[in-house]
Amino acid sequence: MACIYRSIHADSEGWACAHLPGPLFDAQAWSHNGRRTRPDSDPEYIRNIGIVAHVDAGKTTTTEAMLYNSGATRHLGNVDHGNTVTDFLPMEMKRGITIQSAAITFKWPPPERLKPGAHQHFINLIDTPGHVDFRFEVERCIPILDGAVCVIDGVEGVEAHTERVWSSAQEFKVPRIVMVNKLDREGASFKKSVQDIGMKLNGMPLVCQIPWWENDTVKGIVDVASRSVVSWSHGARDDNSPKELAGKIPPFIEEIERARDRLIEQLCDQDERLLDLWTEQGSDLPMEEIKGAIRRVISNGEGSLIPVFAGSSLKNIGVKPLLDAVIDYLPSPQDRPELNVQIGSDTQPLSKIIEATRHAKVPKKEQTQVEAVASVFKVVNDPDRGMLTWVRNYQGLLRKNAPLWNSNLQDFEKPRNIMQISGKNHMEIPLLSPGQIGALTGLKKARTGDTLMALTGNKKPTSNIGQVKVRPPDIPPAVAFLVLEPLTPTGLKHVEESLENLSREDPSVRWSYNEKSDEFTLSGMGSLHLEIARDRLENHYSVDAHWGGIQVEYKECVTVPTGIQRAVFDKPMAGKPGKAACSAMVEPLDTNELEALSHSETERDGNIIRVLFPGAEMSELDPAEIKPLLVNGAIAALAAGPRKRAPFNQCLVTITLDATTDYFGSATAGHYVGAAQRAVKSALTESFKKREENIGILEPVMSVTITCPESAAKAIQHDLHSARGGLVLEVRDMQDNTAIREGSRIELSDIYAPPDPYEFQTSLRETRQGSLRMLEIVAQVPLKEMLDYDNVLRSKTAGRHSLTMALDTFVRVTGAREKAL
């Protein structure tokens, strides 16, 4: 394969030199008719993987070690030094955390590790944020992955946010492997981490590696299937030759055999092929057969068996064998199940929809066939190249300069270039083939979650193919906001454009403009989320404004059904005459209804919007074309309520467009949006005028997880309950793995985990010498009481704590709390 090498010299921000591989697939690998001409461009040799975990588990450090070992960088980046490839935003380098996902492409293995007859693989790796405020960022990336590496802290074990992202990967059936990281740290326990994996992630751990300890320090990693040492501590170099590693004989041979027997036993329970082989040959099975069984049993993404690996990314121990595991065990794009896409409320395999367009009873000249289908999972405003639109291509060849149909915006856009990116380094490529990940330049409107399609003839689709969507984004409601006011009247336009670009990058950032006060309201998922948004606006977009403090974003709701209100919109839109009408009613919606209706109706920000078209079959009205316009109008009306100008939540909106009375022929999109907005707003306003209590106030209640020393736990529980109106649900001993989690299918006694070197203790509840006994407090607390709670915890725990929060629900405010608002 042709390669391009570029040397990136250190710049003013401290970037290390980078030795970058060339384009994922070059043009020479494809003929003009789109057929593959060389085997090394086969999707079999692609791995689209993500690094997921709790904040500070070592995801970015693991990514840096992967890049270094692959030869993509010449120096091992360090989060503490602010010189990592993936965390290149100034705020990321300052805080030492990942804020936005970053995609990197590199080859593995390097030529010197390549076995005869083997192929290099291309790894598209996405380093995702670990902080819960950026959960939307993680959950947009997970569906486009073919596999994931979950990194856990060998000292802390499986933490709260790890469980959340694990459940997201479980939802999309993404095959996963786990690396127990930071085994070089004081207090690390591989045994406890393996037990944590089984008890908290609800899958049976498959111990694939055992750490080799010397004097409580991890010196190397032993592979269980091959019974061989696969990594040895040489500092950051980790340049052991196979001959050097083969000369190291572990002193714990019996434990390796015990681990191997248990590994084979667990695999035989779920893999008939290996079971047949074991029946014929006994337990001394070939390494390749064991590896093949591991790949097969995790390929369905169910997570019933969880391969576990060991290492220390900071010391570069175990990273090379982890990369080998990515190739050996995680699937290629062609190994994954066929993509299902949505058309309205219907979900179908993509191939079925494409086949239907080929056999549609439409004149050949008017037929629209799909040449490529891609999903936008990230939009980034690059200072040098403008908006970069990250896509995963699922179908056909996505070529540069080819117009793309955006099924969400119902319009064409034309990318200028396609790029392969490694952190800040960009390389142009001619096309994206199926399974590839890349970034498009030149798109002016595409947002995260949009679906892009290349169509024959570049004609507007005449069939429902134009409505195809690949996993539309599920954007959670905002819980906090801040107000900003431009310093000058002339700066207002710049602020508006900057906010629009920021919301394209991150749709979980919302904004609105108050014409009366000339103020903008910026809403987000939490305090850190809004701090990052403000920093991006000030430093990247150069926004000058007066900034208010971060406040809780309350919601409004209807407490009783509103009356039915009909609205007619007949003003010219963009100089074009037209007329549209519809009726609307808003009702209260409980959580159970939200769950049930979200599969068949449009869900947005905790509201359900249902659109009815009585009499449509007897007219020229096209429900598929008009429905999204009416939905957009309803969303606009729900953005600010009559009581506090707060967004609505927990509402069921029913919009009815009766073809016999509300359809007046051709009208612009703006007319339908305007009619729905008027009808919904009128229904809410009239209900509020009748009785103020018809519109209630909701406040966000957070699911809070606090890890703290045992000595501070009682004071924190008392504070949460008595001073902050919270409800403590559970207190767990972090060293106690004997408690069975609700719904868990794993028994602690069934989990195999090798002993730690210091295991002379009499009870699993005893902690390692010199470490604190840590407790985990799980509670539900109003967000208003938690905005500055990290500082409160710092004073109670001397900084020895962790705090994560995620939105649990919105609860109606009543009594004295309502009057105080």
In terms of Cβ atoms closer than 10 Å to its own Cβ (0-12, 13-18, 19+), residue 11 is exposed
Question: In CATH, what number is assigned to the domain containing residue 546?
Answer: 3.30.70.870
- The answer to whether 433 and 420 have CB atoms below 8 angstroms apart is no
Is residue 507 domain-shared with residue 491, that is, in the same domain?
A: yes
In a domain, 524, yes or no: yes
Q: Is 347 inside a domain boundary?
A: yes
> What's residue 98's pLDDT?
40
The DSSP bridge partners found for residue 559 are none
Residue with tokens 């290492």: 311
Q: How does DSSP classify residue 546? A: E
The full DSSP string for 576-643 is B---EEEEEEEEE--HHHHHHHTTTSEEETTEEEEEE-TTGGGSS--HHHHHHHHHHHHHHHTTS-TT
Same domain, 202 and 269: yes
Radius of gyration (C-alpha) of the chain in whole angstroms: 28
Is 746 in the same domain as 814? yes
Does residue 376 carry a pLDDT above 60? yes
**In this structure, are 388 and 498 located in the same domain?**
no
- 504-515 as b/e: b if 16+ CB within 10 A: bbbbbbbbbeee
Please state the rounded mean pLDDT for residues 418-424. 73
Residue at token pair 């408690």: 739
Average pLDDT of the residues in 301-311: 95
Q: How confident is the model at residue 610 (pLDDT cuts 50, 70, 90)?
A: very high
Q: Is the pLDDT of residue 86 over 50?
A: no
CATH number assigned to the domain comprising residue 637: 3.30.230.10
The total of structural domains in the chain comes to 5
Q: Is residue 474 part of a domain?
A: no
Please give the pLDDT value at position 632: 94
Structural domain includes residue 21:
no
Q: Reduce the secondary structure of 7-62 to three states and give it as a string.
A: EECCCCCCCCCEECCCCCCCHHHECCCCCECCHHHCHHHEEEEEEECCCCCCHHHH
Task: Judge if 537 and 569 occupy the same domain.
Answer: no
Mean of per-residue pLDDT scores for the chain: 83
Residue-range definition of the domain harbouring residue 262: 46-335
pLDDT at residue number 191: 94
Q: Judge whether residue 768 has pLDDT over 50.
A: no
Q: Is residue 33 part of a domain?
A: no
Same domain, 230 and 376: no
Query: DSSP letter at 154?
Result: T
Residues 210, 324 within the same domain: yes
Residue partners of 711: CB distance under 8 A and separation at least 6? none
What is the distance between the alpha carbons of residues 100 and 175, in angstroms, rounded to a whole number? 23
Q: What number is the average pLDDT over the span 644-651?
A: 93
* Among 140-154, 297-311, 412-426, the least confident range: 412-426
Are both 598 and 455 inside the same structural domain? no
Asked if residue 1 has pLDDT above 50, the reply is no
Q: What is the pLDDT, as a whole number, of residue 758?
A: 61
pLDDT reported for residue 394:
92
pLDDT digits (tens, 9 = 90+) for 135-152: 666 777 888 899 999 999
Task: Say if CB 585 and CB 562 are below 8 A apart.
Answer: yes
Q: Where are the alpha helices (DSSP H) in 148-271?
A: 160-171, 190-200, 242-246, 253-268
Cα separations (Å) of 687 from 236, 559, 606, 680? 67, 10, 20, 11
> In a 10 Å sphere around its CB, with 0-12 CB exposed, 13-18 middle and 19+ buried, how is residue 592 labelled?
exposed
At 235, the pLDDT band (50, 70, 90 cuts) reads: low
Mean pLDDT comparison of 225-239, 320-334, 486-500, highest-scoring range: 320-334
Q: Is the pLDDT of residue 29 over 80?
A: no
Pairing of strands 204-207, 305-310: parallel
CA distance 63 to 57: 12
Distance CA 731, CA 583 (A): 51
Share of the chain above pLDDT 70, in %: 84
One domain for residues 328 and 419: no
pLDDT band at 75 (very low <50, low <70, confident <90, very high): low
CATH code at position 705: 3.30.70.240
172 occurs within a structural domain: yes
Mean pLDDT along residues 10-38: 38
Answer yes or no: is 22 within a domain.
no
Instruction: Express each pLDDT in 663-704 by its tens digit.
Output: 998 899 999 999 999 999 999 999 999 999 999 999 999 999
pLDDT digits (tens, 9 = 90+) for 41-72: 578 999 999 988 877 788 888 988 998 888 87
User: Which residue in 768, 769, 779, 795 sits closest to 732, CA to CA?
Assistant: 779
Residues 273 and 172 in one domain: yes
Structure tokens at 69: 């070992």
Q: Determine the average pLDDT of the residues in 221-236.
A: 85
The closest alpha carbon to 520, from 557, 556, 554, 493, belongs to: 493
> Given this model, what pLDDT does residue 759 score?
57
- For helices 253-268 and 287-298, angle between their N-to-C axes, nearest 10 degrees: 50
Inform me whether the pLDDT recorded for 474 exceeds 90: no
> What CATH number does the domain containing 187 carry?
3.40.50.300
How confident is the model at residue 96, as a pLDDT? Answer: 40
Q: What is the mean pLDDT of residues 326-333?
A: 96
Distance CA 651, CA 681 (A): 13
Distance CA 79, CA 99 (A): 13
Q: How far apart are CA 266 and CA 269, in angstroms?
A: 5
Express each pLDDT in 743-754 by its tens digit.
Answer: 567 888 899 999
In angstroms, the CA 18 to CA 426 distance is 12
Enumerate residues 6+ apart whose C-beta is below 8 A from 436.
24, 25, 46, 124, 392, 393
Q: How far is CA 510 from CA 119, 280, 507, in A?
A: 46, 62, 7
Helices (H), 371-526: 492-505
Alpha carbons 399 and 404: distance in angstroms, whole number = 10
Q: Which of 227-241, 249-263, 443-457 has the highest mean pLDDT?
A: 249-263
- What CATH number did the domain enclosing 451 receive? 2.40.30.10
Distance of CA 120 to CAs 109, 112, 230, 392, Å?
Answer: 6, 11, 19, 21
- The length of the chain in residues reads 821
> Helices (H) and strands (E) in the chain — how many of each?
19, 39
107-138: pLDDT as tens digits: 899 888 888 888 899 899 886 664 555 566 67
Does the pTM surpass 0.75? The reply is yes
Output the pLDDT for position 360: 57
Q: Which of 514, 532, 552 is the last residue of a domain?
A: 552
Residue 36 in any domain: the answer is no
Q: Are 77 and 164 contained in the same domain?
A: yes
Q: Does the structure show a pLDDT above 60 at 91? A: no
Could you give the CA distance from residue 774 to residue 189 in angstroms, rounded to a whole number? 14
pLDDT-above-90 percentage for the chain: 45
Q: Which two tokens stand for residue 754?
A: 């090798």
Q: Which two tokens stand for residue 525?
A: 């998922």
Which helix (H) or strand (E) segment holds residue 351: the answer is helix 350-358
Which pLDDT does position 77 carry in this prediction? 54
| Identity of the amino acid at 545 | A
Strand partners, 412: 405
Q: Are residues 562 and 653 in the same domain?
A: yes
Q: Are 122 and 433 in contact (CB under 8 A)?
A: no
- CA dihedral (182, 184, 186, 188) positive or negative: positive
Complete DSSP assignment for 675-731:
HHHHHHHHHHHHHHHH-GGGEEEEEEEEEEEEEEEHHHHHHHHHIIIIIT--EEEEE
Looking at residues 363-381, what average pLDDT do you find? 80
Instruction: Tell which of 668, 690, 712 closes a domain.
Output: 690
Last residue of a domain, one of 420, 441, 467: 467
- DSSP 8-state assignment for residue 374: E
- Please tell me the predicted confidence (pLDDT) of residue 49: 94
